[in-house]
Amino acid sequence: LAKTTQPISMDSYEGQEVNITCSHNNIATNDYITWYQQFPSQGPRFIIQGYKTKVTNEVASLFIPADRKSSTLSLPRVSLSDTAVYYCLVGDEVNFNKFYFGSGTKLNVKP
Amino acid sequence: DTEVTQTPKHLVMGMTNKKSLKCEQHMGHRAMYWYKQKAKKPPELMFVYSYEKLSINESVPSRFSPECPNSSLLNLHLHALQPEDSALYLCASSQDPSAVWEQYFGPGTRLTVT
């Protein structure tokens, strides 16, 4: 299992771009990188998934360098409503029983 | 409909009570999950159902008993719980077991054991 390491918390201001980095040094060849967002007292919500290079959707971008030992979730122009915990997960569909959330990063967006 | 619903939203029960948590999805998903989440901690996987059959039990104490009556419903039966079992219980579903990485979560049931 690829262990993930994220910063415990980050602060930002409205309108800024936020980049949250996740380290996964022992990522396996078949592993994908997935990010979830969780607001207080709600279930997590799938944000984005990628394997290599860059993935972008309407919510975020995911940057993965060539060695895949880390990944960066980029949130453009954050607002107060982006205050949440962001989890990075690494694994493949074969080992679905190993769907473990890491400790997550608490993002605080200030006005 | 991309919603997973959970009832009740809140539950307070004594250590001798028997209660059940309910989860429902109508997305045609064939994998369903139960998680437990303590305050300021990440969700912890408890059970996985694949095609209505229990496929994963993450060494959960027998006082938690899952049940999957059909492909849309998932229950968690609770009996003789301890105060340390107080937590947010989350249900999730995915299209099938191989789509585990894109799960849809419900809002959770906030359980307090007194």
Pick among B100, B104, B110, B111 to test the A interface (most A CBs inside 10 A)? B100
Q: Which pLDDT does position A1 carry in this prediction?
A: 58
Of chain B, the end-to-end C-alpha distance in Å amounts to 36
CB A103 within 8 A of CB A6: yes
pLDDT tens profile A60-96: 999 999 999 999 999 999 999 999 999 999 887 666 6
Whether B42 and A49 lie within 8 Å, measured CB to CB: no
Other CB atoms within a 10 A radius of the CB of residue B16 amount to 8
Q: Is A68 left (phi over 0), alpha (psi -120 to 50) or beta?
A: left
Residues of B in contact with A88 (CB under 8 A): none
What average pLDDT values come out for chain B (114 residues) when binned by 10 residues? Answer: 90 94 96 95 93 90 96 96 96 90 94 96
% of chain A surpassing 70 pLDDT: 93
Contact B100 A96 (CB under 8 A): yes
pLDDT recorded at residue A41: 85
With cut-offs at 50, 70 and 90, classify the pLDDT of residue A34: very high
How buried is B4 (Cβ within 10 angstroms: 0-12 exposed, 13-18 middle, 19+ buried)? buried
Residues of B in contact with A45 (CB under 8 A): 105
Checking if the pLDDT of A104 tops 70, the result is: yes
d(CA B24, nearest CA chain A) in Å: 14
Please give the Cα distance from A27 to B19 (Å, whole number): 41
Distance from CA of B49 to the nearest CA of A (A): 11
- pLDDT for the residue A6: 96
Query: What φ, ψ does residue B95 adopt, rounded to 5°?
Result: -50, -45
Would you place residue A54 in the very low, low, confident or very high pLDDT band (cuts 50, 70, 90)?
Answer: very high
Q: What is the pLDDT, as a whole number, of residue B98? A: 82
Q: Which two tokens stand for residue A88?
A: 């990075």
Q: Do B50 and B97 form a contact (C-beta atoms < 8 A)? A: yes
Whether A87 sits inside 8 A of B42 (CB atoms) is yes
Would the CB atoms of A99 and B110 count as touching at under 8 Å? no
Which among A43, A91, A93 is the nearest to B107, CB-wise? A43
Q: Do A97 and B48 touch (CB under 8 A)?
A: yes
Cβ separation B45–A102 shorter than 8 A: no
Q: What is the mean pLDDT of chain A?
A: 91
Using a CB–CB cut-off of 8 Å, the residues of A that contact B are 32, 34, 41-46, 49, 87, 89, 91, 93-94, 96-97, 99-104
Q: What local confidence, expressed as pLDDT, does residue A97 receive?
A: 57
Token pair, residue A63, equals 């940057």
Whole-number Å distance between alpha carbons of A43 and B53: 23
